[in-house]
Amino acid sequence: MYLDIATIFVKAGNGGDGIVSFHTEKYVAQGGPDGGDGGNGGDVIFVVDKSASTLIDFKFAKHFRAENGENGGAKNCKGKSGKPLYIKVPKGTVIKEKSSGNVLADMFYDDSEFLLQKGGLGGKGNARFATAQRKAPRFSQRGEKTQEIELTLELKTIADVGLVGFPNVGKSTILSVVSAAKPKIANYHFTTLTPNLGVVKYYDRDFVLADIPGLIEGASEGAGLGHNFLRHVERVRLIVHVVDISGVEGRDPYEDFVTINAELENYSTKLAGLEQIVVANKCDLLEDEGVIDEFEKKIGKKVVRVSAISNSGTKEMLSQIVDLLDTLPEAEPMEVVAFDENRNDSTSYIVTIDEDGVYEVHGGLINMLVRNVVLDDYESFRYFQKMLKDRGVIKELVKNGCKEGDTVRIADFEFDFIE
Which pairing describes strands 161-164 and 205-211: parallel, antiparallel, or unpaired?
parallel
Residue 340 lies in a domain: no
- Whichever domain contains 208, its CATH number is 3.40.50.300
**What are 182-199's pLDDT values in tens digits?**
655 444 444 445 667 788
Highest mean pLDDT among 65-79, 243-257, 389-403: 65-79
Looking at the structure, tell me whether residues 131 and 280 fall in a common domain: no
Question: Which 8-state DSSP code applies to residue 110?
Answer: T
pLDDT on residue 229: 58
Least Cα distance to 238 among 347, 362, 130, 323 occurs for 323
Residue 330 falls within a domain, yes or no?
Answer: no
Whole-number pLDDT of residue 376: 67
Report if residue 75 sits inside a domain.
Answer: yes
Q: Is there a single domain that holds both residue 85 and residue 24? A: yes
State the sign of the Cα–Cα–Cα–Cα dihedral 164, 166, 167, 171.
negative
Q: 188 and 313: one domain? A: yes
Q: Which phi and psi (to 5°) does residue 119 adopt?
A: -65, 155
Given a cut of 70, whether residue 62 has pLDDT beyond it is yes
Residue 331 lies in a domain: no
The verdict on 77 and 49 lying in the same domain is: yes
Are residues 264 and 405 both part of a single domain? Answer: no
pTM, two decimal places: 0.77
pLDDT average, residue stretch 316-344: 88
pLDDT tens-place string over residues 156-171: 888 899 898 888 888 8
CATH number at residue 69: 2.70.210.12
- Specify which of 170-184, 201-215, 277-291 reaches the highest per-range mean pLDDT: 277-291
Do 121 and 236 share a domain, yes or no? no
Q: What is the DSSP annotation of 286-317? A: -S-THHHHHHHHHHTS--EE-BGGGTBSHHHH
Share of the chain above pLDDT 90, in %: 44
CB 20 within 8 A of CB 123: no
Q: Which of 155, 187, 203 is the last residue of a domain?
A: 155
Selection from 102, 197, 104 nearest residue 158 by Cα: 197
From the CA atom positions of the chain, what is the Rg in Å? Answer: 32
d(CA 265, CA 271): 7
User: Of the candidates 325, 360, 365, which has an alpha carbon nearest to the alpha carbon of residue 345?
Assistant: 365
Q: Are residues 82 and 111 in the same domain?
A: yes
Residue 409 belongs to a domain with what CATH number?
3.30.300.350
**Does one domain contain both 117 and 220?**
no
Whether residue 165 lies inside any domain: the answer is yes
Partnered with residue 28 across adjacent β-strands are: 25
Cβ-contact 228, 217 below 8 angstroms: no
Strands (E), 98-237: 103-106, 113-117, 149-155, 161-164, 196-202, 205-211
Residues 165 and 139 in one domain: no
Same domain, 82 and 192: no
Q: Are residues 93 and 183 in the same domain?
A: no
Residue 28 counted as domain residue? yes
CB atoms closer than 10 angstroms to residue 108: 18
Whether the Cβ atoms of residue 91 and residue 235 lie closer than 8 Å to each other: no
DSSP code, position 4: -
What pLDDT score was predicted for residue 268? 80
Number of domains in the chain: 3
pLDDT, averaged across the chain = 86
Q: Sorting pLDDT into bands at 50, 70 and 90, what band is 270?
A: confident
What residues make up the domain containing 36?
Answer: 1-155
Assess if residue 168 is contained within a domain.
yes
Shared domain check, 278 and 375:
no
Q: Does 342 map to a domain?
A: no
Confidence band, pLDDT 50/70/90 cuts, at residue 222: very low
What residues contact 155, with CB distance under 8 A and at least 6 apart?
4, 5, 54, 55, 90, 92, 93, 94, 231, 232
Measured CA distances, 129 to 70, 170, 374, 413 (Å):
20, 74, 13, 24
Q: Which of 101, 129, 155 is where one domain is finished? A: 155
**Of 94-98, 220-224, 230-234, which gets the smallest average pLDDT?**
220-224
